[in-house]
Structure 1
Amino acid sequence: MQRRQFLVASAATLLVPHLARADTPAGDGPVRMRDLYNKDLTFSDYAKEREGERIAVEGFMAPPLKAESNFFVLTKRPMAVCPFCESEAQWPDDILAVYTQRIIDQVPFNVKIVTNGKLELGTYKDPELGFVSRVRLADAVYERS
Protein backbone atom coordinates (compact mmCIF):
# COMPACT_ATOMS: atom_id res chain seq x y z
CA MET A 1 0.00 0.00 0.00
CA GLN A 2 2.85 2.43 0.73
CA ARG A 3 4.23 1.94 -2.76
CA ARG A 4 0.89 2.91 -4.30
CA GLN A 5 0.70 6.06 -2.15
CA PHE A 6 4.25 6.94 -3.13
CA LEU A 7 3.46 6.54 -6.84
CA VAL A 8 0.30 8.64 -6.57
CA ALA A 9 2.13 11.37 -4.64
CA SER A 10 4.99 11.33 -7.17
CA ALA A 11 2.60 11.66 -10.10
CA ALA A 12 0.76 14.52 -8.40
CA THR A 13 4.04 16.33 -7.75
CA LEU A 14 4.96 16.11 -11.41
CA LEU A 15 1.56 17.39 -12.55
CA VAL A 16 1.22 20.39 -10.23
CA PRO A 17 3.69 22.68 -12.08
CA HIS A 18 1.87 22.03 -15.36
CA LEU A 19 -1.52 22.76 -13.81
CA ALA A 20 -0.25 25.97 -12.25
CA ARG A 21 0.96 27.20 -15.63
CA ALA A 22 -2.12 26.22 -17.61
CA ASP A 23 -3.62 29.72 -17.47
CA THR A 24 -0.76 31.43 -19.32
CA PRO A 25 -1.49 32.25 -22.97
CA ALA A 26 1.09 29.71 -24.08
CA GLY A 27 -0.14 27.31 -21.41
CA ASP A 28 3.32 25.97 -20.75
CA GLY A 29 5.46 28.31 -18.70
CA PRO A 30 6.21 31.91 -17.83
CA VAL A 31 4.29 34.64 -19.64
CA ARG A 32 5.89 35.97 -22.80
CA MET A 33 6.29 39.74 -22.90
CA ARG A 34 4.35 39.92 -26.15
CA ASP A 35 1.34 38.36 -24.38
CA LEU A 36 0.99 41.57 -22.36
CA TYR A 37 0.23 43.67 -25.47
CA ASN A 38 -2.12 43.73 -28.44
CA LYS A 39 -0.70 44.43 -31.91
CA ASP A 40 -1.50 48.16 -31.50
CA LEU A 41 0.57 48.20 -28.24
CA THR A 42 -2.49 48.55 -26.00
CA PHE A 43 -2.58 46.17 -23.06
CA SER A 44 -3.95 42.71 -23.83
CA ASP A 45 -6.99 41.23 -22.10
CA TYR A 46 -4.58 38.79 -20.44
CA ALA A 47 -2.60 41.70 -18.93
CA LYS A 48 -5.72 43.60 -17.83
CA GLU A 49 -7.18 40.51 -16.18
CA ARG A 50 -3.98 39.92 -14.21
CA GLU A 51 -3.18 43.49 -13.21
CA GLY A 52 -2.28 43.42 -9.52
CA GLU A 53 -1.58 39.67 -9.58
CA ARG A 54 1.80 37.94 -9.47
CA ILE A 55 3.02 36.61 -12.80
CA ALA A 56 6.28 35.03 -13.99
CA VAL A 57 8.11 36.40 -17.04
CA GLU A 58 11.26 35.00 -18.64
CA GLY A 59 13.95 37.20 -20.19
CA PHE A 60 17.35 38.79 -19.71
CA MET A 61 18.54 41.40 -17.21
CA ALA A 62 19.73 44.53 -19.01
CA PRO A 63 22.72 46.28 -17.43
CA PRO A 64 21.42 48.23 -14.40
CA LEU A 65 20.93 51.98 -14.78
CA LYS A 66 22.27 52.57 -11.28
CA ALA A 67 24.45 50.62 -8.83
CA GLU A 68 22.93 49.46 -5.54
CA SER A 69 19.41 49.56 -6.94
CA ASN A 70 16.27 47.47 -6.60
CA PHE A 71 15.38 48.18 -10.24
CA PHE A 72 16.32 46.57 -13.53
CA VAL A 73 14.90 46.13 -17.01
CA LEU A 74 13.94 42.66 -18.22
CA THR A 75 14.43 42.26 -21.98
CA LYS A 76 13.31 39.66 -24.47
CA ARG A 77 16.80 39.45 -25.98
CA PRO A 78 20.20 39.91 -24.34
CA MET A 79 21.31 43.58 -24.45
CA ALA A 80 24.72 44.79 -23.39
CA VAL A 81 23.62 48.47 -23.22
CA CYS A 82 20.42 50.38 -22.45
CA PRO A 83 19.00 51.43 -25.86
CA PHE A 84 15.50 52.11 -24.54
CA CYS A 85 16.02 54.68 -21.79
CA GLU A 86 13.90 57.33 -23.45
CA SER A 87 10.21 58.14 -23.11
CA GLU A 88 6.87 56.36 -22.96
CA ALA A 89 6.32 57.06 -26.67
CA GLN A 90 9.36 54.94 -27.47
CA TRP A 91 8.48 52.14 -25.04
CA PRO A 92 9.06 48.83 -26.87
CA ASP A 93 6.81 45.82 -26.26
CA ASP A 94 9.71 43.51 -25.50
CA ILE A 95 10.98 44.99 -22.22
CA LEU A 96 9.59 45.11 -18.71
CA ALA A 97 10.56 47.35 -15.79
CA VAL A 98 11.20 45.29 -12.65
CA TYR A 99 11.22 46.58 -9.07
CA THR A 100 12.64 43.94 -6.74
CA GLN A 101 12.21 43.29 -3.04
CA ARG A 102 15.95 43.74 -2.42
CA ILE A 103 19.03 45.35 -3.97
CA ILE A 104 19.74 43.37 -7.14
CA ASP A 105 22.71 41.13 -7.72
CA GLN A 106 23.49 41.75 -11.36
CA VAL A 107 23.15 38.71 -13.61
CA PRO A 108 25.26 38.71 -16.81
CA PHE A 109 23.23 40.23 -19.65
CA ASN A 110 23.28 36.98 -21.66
CA VAL A 111 21.98 34.66 -18.90
CA LYS A 112 18.24 33.92 -19.02
CA ILE A 113 16.25 34.55 -15.84
CA VAL A 114 12.65 34.12 -14.67
CA THR A 115 11.18 37.06 -12.78
CA ASN A 116 8.07 36.79 -10.62
CA GLY A 117 6.26 39.91 -9.43
CA LYS A 118 3.01 41.85 -9.17
CA LEU A 119 1.90 43.12 -12.59
CA GLU A 120 1.36 46.90 -12.78
CA LEU A 121 -0.01 48.63 -15.89
CA GLY A 122 -0.02 52.31 -16.90
CA THR A 123 2.54 55.04 -17.35
CA TYR A 124 4.88 55.56 -14.40
CA LYS A 125 7.99 57.74 -14.15
CA ASP A 126 10.46 56.58 -11.54
CA PRO A 127 11.13 59.64 -9.34
CA GLU A 128 14.72 58.63 -8.61
CA LEU A 129 15.87 57.36 -12.01
CA GLY A 130 13.53 59.26 -14.33
CA PHE A 131 12.84 55.97 -16.13
CA VAL A 132 9.41 55.93 -17.79
CA SER A 133 7.58 52.61 -18.03
CA ARG A 134 4.19 51.42 -19.23
CA VAL A 135 4.27 47.98 -17.61
CA ARG A 136 6.13 46.77 -14.53
CA LEU A 137 6.63 43.92 -12.11
CA ALA A 138 6.67 45.15 -8.51
CA ASP A 139 7.81 43.40 -5.35
CA ALA A 140 9.65 41.02 -7.66
CA VAL A 141 12.08 38.17 -7.19
CA TYR A 142 14.18 36.53 -9.89
CA GLU A 143 16.33 33.47 -10.50
CA ARG A 144 18.37 32.00 -13.30
CA SER A 145 16.23 30.09 -15.75
Structure 2
Amino acid sequence: MECRPITRRGMLLGSATLCLAAALRGASAASSPLTFDDLYAKIGVLGMSFSDKVKMLAGQNVTMQGFMAPPLKAEAKFFVLTEIPMALCPFCSSDADWPDNIVVIYLDQAQTFEQANALIEVGGRLEVGSWTDPETGFVSLLRIVDAHFQRA
Protein backbone atom coordinates (compact mmCIF):
# COMPACT_ATOMS: atom_id res chain seq x y z
CA MET A 1 0.00 0.00 0.00
CA GLU A 2 1.38 3.35 -1.03
CA CYS A 3 1.09 6.42 1.20
CA ARG A 4 0.54 9.68 -0.64
CA PRO A 5 0.64 13.21 0.77
CA ILE A 6 -2.71 14.68 1.77
CA THR A 7 -3.96 17.24 -0.71
CA ARG A 8 -6.04 20.31 0.02
CA ARG A 9 -9.01 18.60 -1.68
CA GLY A 10 -8.52 15.53 0.53
CA MET A 11 -8.44 17.71 3.64
CA LEU A 12 -11.67 19.47 2.59
CA LEU A 13 -13.43 16.17 1.86
CA GLY A 14 -12.24 14.72 5.16
CA SER A 15 -13.40 17.82 7.02
CA ALA A 16 -16.80 17.72 5.30
CA THR A 17 -17.17 14.04 6.20
CA LEU A 18 -16.38 14.76 9.86
CA CYS A 19 -18.89 17.64 9.91
CA LEU A 20 -21.61 15.46 8.35
CA ALA A 21 -20.93 12.66 10.85
CA ALA A 22 -21.13 15.13 13.75
CA ALA A 23 -24.41 16.57 12.43
CA LEU A 24 -25.92 13.10 12.12
CA ARG A 25 -24.82 12.21 15.65
CA GLY A 26 -26.30 15.50 16.89
CA ALA A 27 -29.58 14.85 15.09
CA SER A 28 -29.97 11.40 16.61
CA ALA A 29 -28.88 12.67 20.03
CA ALA A 30 -31.48 15.45 19.80
CA SER A 31 -34.32 12.90 19.58
CA SER A 32 -35.25 11.01 22.72
CA PRO A 33 -36.60 7.48 22.39
CA LEU A 34 -40.12 6.99 23.72
CA THR A 35 -41.99 3.70 24.13
CA PHE A 36 -45.66 2.94 24.68
CA ASP A 37 -44.77 1.87 28.24
CA ASP A 38 -43.36 5.39 28.83
CA LEU A 39 -46.58 7.24 27.99
CA TYR A 40 -48.67 7.10 31.15
CA ALA A 41 -47.87 7.09 34.87
CA LYS A 42 -51.20 5.55 35.80
CA ILE A 43 -54.37 4.42 34.13
CA GLY A 44 -57.47 4.15 36.28
CA VAL A 45 -61.19 4.70 36.47
CA LEU A 46 -60.63 8.46 36.67
CA GLY A 47 -58.61 8.45 33.47
CA MET A 48 -54.97 8.46 32.50
CA SER A 49 -52.15 10.68 33.72
CA PHE A 50 -49.07 11.33 31.63
CA SER A 51 -45.73 10.01 32.85
CA ASP A 52 -43.01 12.37 34.03
CA LYS A 53 -41.00 11.39 30.93
CA VAL A 54 -43.82 12.49 28.61
CA LYS A 55 -44.25 15.77 30.51
CA MET A 56 -40.49 16.39 30.30
CA LEU A 57 -40.37 15.59 26.55
CA ALA A 58 -43.41 17.74 25.59
CA GLY A 59 -42.33 20.01 22.75
CA GLN A 60 -39.11 18.02 22.18
CA ASN A 61 -38.09 15.71 19.34
CA VAL A 62 -38.78 12.04 20.03
CA THR A 63 -38.61 8.72 18.21
CA MET A 64 -41.07 5.86 18.65
CA GLN A 65 -41.47 2.43 17.14
CA GLY A 66 -44.81 0.81 16.43
CA PHE A 67 -47.25 -0.13 13.71
CA MET A 68 -49.27 2.04 11.36
CA ALA A 69 -53.00 1.54 11.79
CA PRO A 70 -54.87 1.53 8.49
CA PRO A 71 -55.49 5.19 7.55
CA LEU A 72 -59.02 6.58 7.41
CA LYS A 73 -58.48 7.72 3.84
CA ALA A 74 -55.66 7.38 1.34
CA GLU A 75 -54.88 11.10 1.13
CA ALA A 76 -54.68 11.69 4.90
CA LYS A 77 -51.56 13.47 6.12
CA PHE A 78 -51.75 11.70 9.45
CA PHE A 79 -52.00 8.18 10.80
CA VAL A 80 -52.23 6.39 14.12
CA LEU A 81 -49.16 4.64 15.53
CA THR A 82 -50.15 1.57 17.54
CA GLU A 83 -48.29 -0.73 19.88
CA ILE A 84 -49.53 -3.83 18.06
CA PRO A 85 -50.69 -4.36 14.47
CA MET A 86 -54.39 -3.54 13.97
CA ALA A 87 -56.85 -4.38 11.22
CA LEU A 88 -58.96 -1.24 11.78
CA CYS A 89 -58.07 2.34 12.63
CA PRO A 90 -58.64 3.01 16.36
CA PHE A 91 -60.51 6.27 15.68
CA CYS A 92 -61.84 7.68 18.94
CA SER A 93 -64.83 9.95 19.41
CA SER A 94 -63.40 11.72 22.47
CA ASP A 95 -60.26 11.85 24.56
CA ALA A 96 -62.19 10.06 27.34
CA ASP A 97 -62.19 6.98 25.08
CA TRP A 98 -58.52 7.38 24.18
CA PRO A 99 -56.67 4.02 24.24
CA ASP A 100 -53.37 3.94 26.14
CA ASN A 101 -51.43 2.32 23.31
CA ILE A 102 -51.79 4.73 20.36
CA VAL A 103 -50.23 8.04 19.31
CA VAL A 104 -51.43 10.23 16.42
CA ILE A 105 -48.72 11.04 13.87
CA TYR A 106 -48.98 14.20 11.76
CA LEU A 107 -46.51 13.94 8.86
CA ASP A 108 -44.24 16.76 7.75
CA GLN A 109 -44.92 15.70 4.15
CA ALA A 110 -47.02 13.08 2.42
CA GLN A 111 -45.48 9.61 2.43
CA THR A 112 -46.61 6.23 1.17
CA PHE A 113 -48.30 4.33 3.96
CA GLU A 114 -46.82 1.04 5.17
CA GLN A 115 -48.59 -2.26 5.68
CA ALA A 116 -50.24 -2.52 9.09
CA ASN A 117 -47.95 -5.42 10.11
CA ALA A 118 -44.66 -3.61 9.32
CA LEU A 119 -42.70 -2.22 12.28
CA ILE A 120 -41.84 1.46 11.69
CA GLU A 121 -39.90 4.15 13.49
CA VAL A 122 -41.38 7.63 13.70
CA GLY A 123 -39.51 10.82 14.52
CA GLY A 124 -40.94 14.26 15.23
CA ARG A 125 -41.97 16.74 17.93
CA LEU A 126 -44.12 15.48 20.81
CA GLU A 127 -47.31 17.40 21.63
CA VAL A 128 -49.14 16.57 24.85
CA GLY A 129 -52.74 17.32 25.86
CA SER A 130 -56.21 17.07 24.42
CA TRP A 131 -56.55 18.56 20.95
CA THR A 132 -59.18 18.30 18.22
CA ASP A 133 -58.02 18.40 14.61
CA PRO A 134 -60.16 21.11 12.97
CA GLU A 135 -60.14 19.33 9.58
CA THR A 136 -61.06 15.80 10.69
CA GLY A 137 -62.57 16.17 14.15
CA PHE A 138 -60.05 13.57 15.36
CA VAL A 139 -59.45 14.00 19.11
CA SER A 140 -56.03 13.07 20.51
CA LEU A 141 -54.18 13.18 23.80
CA LEU A 142 -50.69 12.63 22.36
CA ARG A 143 -49.32 13.59 18.96
CA ILE A 144 -46.02 13.52 17.15
CA VAL A 145 -46.04 16.40 14.67
CA ASP A 146 -43.77 17.47 11.81
CA ALA A 147 -43.12 13.74 11.66
CA HIS A 148 -41.44 11.35 9.27
CA PHE A 149 -41.21 7.58 9.39
CA GLN A 150 -39.29 4.66 7.99
CA ARG A 151 -39.32 0.89 8.38
CA ALA A 152 -37.54 -0.12 11.56
User: Paired residues, what number?
Assistant: 127
Structure 1 CA distance for aligned equivalents of residues 90 and 55 of structure 2: 27
The runs of 4+ residues in structure 1 deviating greater than 6 Å are: none
Which residue is equivalent to 2:102? 95
Whether the aligned pair in 2 keeps the contact of 1:34 and 1:93 (CA below 8 Å) is: no
Whether the aligned pair in 1 keeps the contact of 2:82 and 2:101 (CA below 8 Å) is: yes
Q: Could you tell me the TM-score, scaled by structure 1's length?
A: 0.78
Structure 1 CA distance for aligned equivalents of residues 97 and 122 of structure 2: 23
What is the alpha-carbon root mean square deviation over aligned residues?
A: 2.5
Q: Could you tell me the TM-score, scaled by structure 2's length?
A: 0.75
Paired letter, 1:37 = Y
Residue 102 of structure 1 deviates from its aligned partner by: 0.9
Question: Identity rate of aligned residues, in percent?
Answer: 46
Given the alignment, which residue of 51, 56, 63 partners 1:56? Answer: 63
Structure 2 CA distance for aligned equivalents of residues 66 and 126 of structure 1: 15
1:38 aligns with 2:41: yes
Structure 1 CA distance for aligned equivalents of residues 107 and 55 of structure 2: 21
In structure 1, stretches of 5+ residues that fail to align are: 1-8, 25-29
Which residue is equivalent to 1:113? 120
Report Cα offsets for 1:35-69 as digits up to 9, x if no partner.
Answer: 02112321111011111000001000001112212
Range moving further from structure 2, 65-74 or 50-59: 65-74
SS across alignment from 2:37 = helix
Bigger fraction of residues in strand: 2
